[in-house]
Amino acid sequence: MTETRKLQPIAENIINRIKANPWWVLLFVAVAVKFTVFYKLVQVTANFPVVLLLSCLITFLILTGFRNRWMAFAVYFVLSFILFADITYFSFFNRYLSLQMLGAAEVIGDIGESIKAVMKPVNFMMFLDVILMGILLGTKKIPYKKKQQSLPKGKRFFPGAAAILVLILIVTNVTDSRLLTSLSNQEFYSFRLKDTASAVFGARADAEVALSFPYEKQKDGPLFGIAEGRNVIVIQIESLQNFVIGREYNGQEITPYLNRLIESNTIYFNNFYQQTGSGNTSDAEFAINNSILGTLTSYTNKIYPNNTYRGLPVLLKERGYSTAVYHAHESRGFWNREAFYPAGGFDTFYGGIINDTQNRPNGNFMMTEWMGWGLTDTEFYKQVIPYMKEEKAPFYSFIITLSNHHPYVMLDHYNYIELLPEHKDTLAGNYLNSAAYTDYAIGQLLEDLRLEGLYENSIFVLYGDHSGLVKEAETDRVMKDILGKDYDFEEVMRVPLIIHLPEQGLHVPESNGNFKQTVSIAGGQLDFLPTMAYLMGFPELDTIYLGQNLLTAKTGFVAQHTFMVKGSFFLDEIAYEMSRDGIFDNGRAWNTKTGEPVSLEGLEPYYRRSVSISETSQYLLDQDVIRQVYVEGKSLDEVLP
């Protein structure tokens, strides 16, 4: 009763304001239309009306809360820009842009081409009501009073404070209500507050669950140490998805070279998934080398370049390896690579492009053939080899390709695949051709390495950094033609992992069995470090890692937190997609072989494990846990939450 009495003057106040000036109503309608479009585009479905109403209400409170009308206008313009950025980011990553990511403007600027490709005219609707507001303010149709005179002191109403109060109530969610959870994960303002709060207060993590992959008894495995002492050459392939491997398109093999490679002395992981953070490519590098998920807040290379790491490069260095990373993007600083690599354990970074033929002081590349953001793969590889020959053996070479990048438009002389008319000029159609060029270039590289004597004493690893074709209407249509089934997340997220061990000169002890095999348990980029440690014969894995050795494990588990909502996961034959609203029961599970829906019963512990892996990763990064344990000598128990 008293509550209603308290609310009465507030409601009256709002009504009086509207009566005093009906232009507010027009603006409110415009705001409602804007948010309806926004939530449709970012695919909010659960509790849609409440989410929408809340956003409209808060926007209205913000708009009426200013004393200076042009201040209100400026704030509203910024809000609209964030909405616009959210929609664009959502087309790639299926979630809102975190505020810290907005700060990563240098990267956003660079991916302009890709942004243009996903930008739709409808996105600009986010600015329509800003224009309306500008006109109404300019013509003084909407008045801003200097002071609140309409209510007596003590009953004054401060719209800005009311908006903040409502948001705090939602985000703190003391009663643990499902509705508030749902709102705080989907509603534009509540999400922002929650996101900022978790960035400020740091992640909480149930680390015990995440750290439960033991690297023990590996010595008993049949392939233990089979590549010990060899050079390790890893090729992280831009946007390479698994569906192109072994596939024919209209009678044309897309990846003939990789298909042959898989038929030789090679382990092919055909149920392997990307596990990136917000840093996309750079977080694939990070997850592969460190067995920790990259952060969601901004990108790992940028926020944590001064942490201590003990990933594969560091562990190989401790075994006498020299380590180098190669990447021919035009800038050495892109994704903060130059600053990050020393901490990541790389002695040398061959990167950046200059045109001076005489002088390449930094291990730069020379611009011989430009495509997209840097050198074409074929030219890049040609220039990698002389650098690699200078490396002191045994060496670890980490090569990051670039040509197969969104929007997959190739130079004319690199066209390999004849597309059907209905697939011409589509992203997925172009992708097939781009993947074919990638395959061709890898074939050339391996042949050249053979000629240079760098082939036989090496172990080769090839994998895709992340998905190249996100789900959207046209891609879904073309992919359905190519796959013969719906394009769902298991195909979006699956990347190939190929580990090739040249046979010649290979000493395989009797017990080591056959190397060539196809591994079909689910695996992800976090599993690479333990798997490699096993092949390289590490008696123990003396670091903190969140994956398992896929060559001795019986079943797989893959946590996801980008592209699919945090808490999503893959098992050997089941995929679970967490719901946008943060309620487990509203998620969706299906059989990855048949596409048939699967009951959620019994899946919740896996969901919790997935969340734990994401949050533990964040905790490890925030608290620089590896430094605390390995440099400061603290015990894990002391350091973990």
Q: Restricting to residues 300-329, name those near ligand GP9 by CB under 6 A.
A: 329
Contact 462, 498 (CB under 8 A): yes
Our CB check for Mn ion shows the closer of 187 and 238 to be 238
431 near ligand GP9 (CB under 6 A): no
What are the structure tokens assigned to 245, written together? 């491997």
For residue 630, count other CB atoms closer than 10 A to its CB: 16
The pattern of x and - marking residues 407 through 446 that bind Mn ion according to CB under 5 A reads: ----------------------------------------
281 near ligand GP9 (CB under 6 A): yes
| Partner whose binding site includes residue 111, from Mn ion, ligand GP9, none (CB under 5 to 8 Å by kind) | ligand GP9
Q: What is the DSSP letter of 364?
A: -
Our CB check for ligand GP9 shows the closer of 30 and 111 to be 111
Our CB check for Mn ion shows the closer of 58 and 400 to be 400
- In terms of Cα–Cα distance, which of 557, 489, 485, 488 is closest to 524? 557
Main-chain dihedrals φ then ψ at residue 381, nearest 5 degrees? -60, -40
Our CB check for Mn ion shows the closer of 465 and 581 to be 465
| Partner whose binding site includes residue 283, from ligand GP9, Mn ion, none (CB under 5 to 8 Å by kind) | none
463 near ligand GP9 (CB under 6 A): no
Residue 629, CA distances (Å) to 216, 312, 533 in order: 20, 17, 20
CA 19 distance to own-chain centroid = 48
Our CB check for ligand GP9 shows the closer of 76 and 272 to be 272
Task: Determine the Cα–Cα distance for residues 546 and 287; give it in Å rounded to an integer.
Answer: 9
CB of 285 to ligand GP9, least distance (A): 9
Q: Restricting to residues 344-403, name those near ligand GP9 by CB under 6 A.
A: 373, 402
Of the chain, the end-to-end C-alpha distance in Å amounts to: 44
Our CB check for ligand GP9 shows the closer of 400 and 639 to be 400
Q: Which range binds ligand GP9 by CB under 6 A, 10-18, 173-181, 220-228, 274-282?
A: 274-282
State whether residue 308 is helix, strand or coil.
Answer: coil
Strands (E), 401-490: 458-464
What are the structure tokens assigned to 419, written together? 């597309």
Residue 415, CA distances (Å) to 1, 117, 300, 429, 454 in order: 74, 21, 36, 12, 29
CB of 111 to ligand GP9, least distance (A): 5
**Which residue in the block uniquely carries the two structure tokens 């009951």?**
599
Contact 500, 265 (CB under 8 A): yes
Give the one residue of 280, 336, 376, 404 binding ligand GP9; rule: CB under 6 A.
280
CB of 281 to Mn ion, least distance (A): 3
CB of 334 to ligand GP9, least distance (A): 5
281 near Mn ion (CB under 5 A): yes
- In terms of Cα–Cα distance, which of 550, 464, 502, 510 is closest to 264? 502
Q: Restricting to residues 231-250, name those near Mn ion by CB under 5 A.
A: 238
| Partner whose binding site includes residue 373, from Mn ion, ligand GP9, none (CB under 5 to 8 Å by kind) | ligand GP9
CB of 279 to Mn ion, least distance (A): 10
335 near ligand GP9 (CB under 6 A): yes
CB of 441 to ligand GP9, least distance (A): 16
Our CB check for ligand GP9 shows the closer of 41 and 237 to be 237
Our CB check for ligand GP9 shows the closer of 405 and 561 to be 405
CB of 294 to ligand GP9, least distance (A): 11
Contact 469, 493 (CB under 8 A): no
Our CB check for Mn ion shows the closer of 86 and 238 to be 238
Pairing mode, strands 458-464 and 497-500: antiparallel
H-type alpha helices, 583-640: 604-622, 625-626, 636-639
Give the one residue of 257, 334, 346, 431 binding ligand GP9; rule: CB under 6 A.
334
Our CB check for ligand GP9 shows the closer of 187 and 465 to be 465
Q: Restricting to residues 320-379, name those near Mn ion by CB under 5 A.
A: none
Apex CA 162: angle with CA 40 and CA 204, to 5°? 70
Give the one residue of 253, 465, 577, 615 binding Mn ion; rule: CB under 5 A.
465
Residue type, 569: F
CB of 144 to ligand GP9, least distance (A): 43
CB of 287 to ligand GP9, least distance (A): 13
- DSSP characters for 238-304? TT--GGGTT-EETTEES-HHHHHHHHSSEEEESSEE----TTHHHHHHHHHHHSSPPPSSS-HHHH-
Our CB check for ligand GP9 shows the closer of 30 and 108 to be 108
Our CB check for Mn ion shows the closer of 238 and 377 to be 238
Main-chain dihedrals φ then ψ at residue 523, nearest 5 degrees? -145, 165
The residues pairing with 461 across neighbouring beta strands, listed in sequence order, are: 234, 499
Q: Restricting to residues 86-125, name those near ligand GP9 by CB under 6 A.
A: 111
Binding site for ligand GP9 (CB under 6 A): 111, 238, 280-282, 329, 334-335, 373, 402, 405
- Which residues contact Mn ion (rule: CB under 5 A)? 238, 281, 465
